[in-house]
Structure 1
Amino acid sequence: MILLSIFAMAGLVFFSRYLFLEPKLPIKLNHTTQRLLAYSSPAILTAIWAPIVFIRDGDLAISPTNPYLLGALFAAVMVWKTKNVLWTTVVSMALFLILKLAVFV
């Protein structure tokens, strides 16, 4: 049953994306809908990373001993300065690993 659910969800996601990505299909979105959908990716990404960075054990964790917060701040500053997402990801993950395993044990 679980395997069937996984395949059903995968099919639903694939076909919902396929309808908008296949150029031969006559589905076109109006300008307002396209503008609104431009905000969906940043909103979903924020909903994923914000609880990870700011919440520890159900409480707000804004302190200099939070390696998640330090790694996120470093990544934000680095991507702003370098404009290189791949390099920022690799370096900030290494910094987070060092902070998590060596500094804040």
Structure 2
Amino acid sequence: MRNCGVVIGLLLAGVSPAQAQIWDGGRSAVPDPPAPIEPDVTPMLHDLRRDLRTARRSGQITREEERSLRQQAALIANAERRYRSAGLSASERRELIARTEALKSAIDARRTP
């Protein structure tokens, strides 16, 4: 009975549940910072293929080495297409970048005399 009187008193005073919400100091009005932009794998793979062509033409790697490294680049490109078709997650992007950088290191190691 007493609770009913409190509710009626609040309604008469014009206080609605929306006005009784807790204020968070305006933090909810601040948008989240944008996610850092990570490099795209496609241009990295394009650069790798260009490096392979250059290394092969200059005689730094053999035809068989070029073929093997090109196949590895194709596997990464295929994985990227599969991941993108289902929506590329941050972890998948990091995996592709890591695989691409590892392949770049392998190419650079074979090019060094």
Q: What is the TM-score when the length of structure 2 is the normalising length?
A: 0.31
Larger Cα Rg: Structure 1 or Structure 2?
2
Instruction: Indicate the structure whose relative CO is greater, using CA pairs within 8 Å and at least 6 residues apart.
Output: 2
Q: Which has the larger helix fraction?
A: 1
